């Protein structure tokens, strides 16, 4: 089922980084996320609920905004 909040997920195995692009255009990169956590998020029925329960507050992150989406 598509998420109403999350647009795409990507995972960088080399750096153990989970990147989440939101429908709003914001992009967050979460550091030191195990691959198994990323895989579980991909399978989750609700990506937003998974994010809130298992990602937010548990991993360091940096956020940025995709200005290209504003054009």
pLDDT in tens, the chain (71 residues): 568 889 999 999 999 999 999 998 899 999 999 999 999 999 999 999 999 999 999 999 998 765 555 44
Q: Is residue 13 part of a domain?
A: yes
The number of domains in the chain is 1
Domain that holds residue 21: 6-70
Q: Is residue 1 part of a domain?
A: no
- Cite the beta strand spans of 1-71 per DSSP E: 6-12, 17-22, 26-30, 61-65
| pLDDT for residue 56 | 95
Measured between alpha carbons, how far is residue 22 from residues 3, 14, 60, 68 in Å? 9, 23, 17, 14
Maximum pairwise Cα distance, the chain: 36
């Amino acid at each position: 089922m598509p998420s109403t909040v999350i647009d795409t997920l990507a995972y960088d195995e080399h750096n153990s980084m989970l990147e989440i692009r939101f429908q709003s255009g914001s992009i967050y990169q979460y550091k030191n996320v195990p691959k198994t956590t990323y895989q579980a998020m991909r399978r989750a029925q609700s990506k937003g609920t998974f994010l809130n329960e298992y990602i937010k507050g548990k991993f360091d992150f940096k956020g940025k905004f995709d200005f290209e989406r504003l054009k």
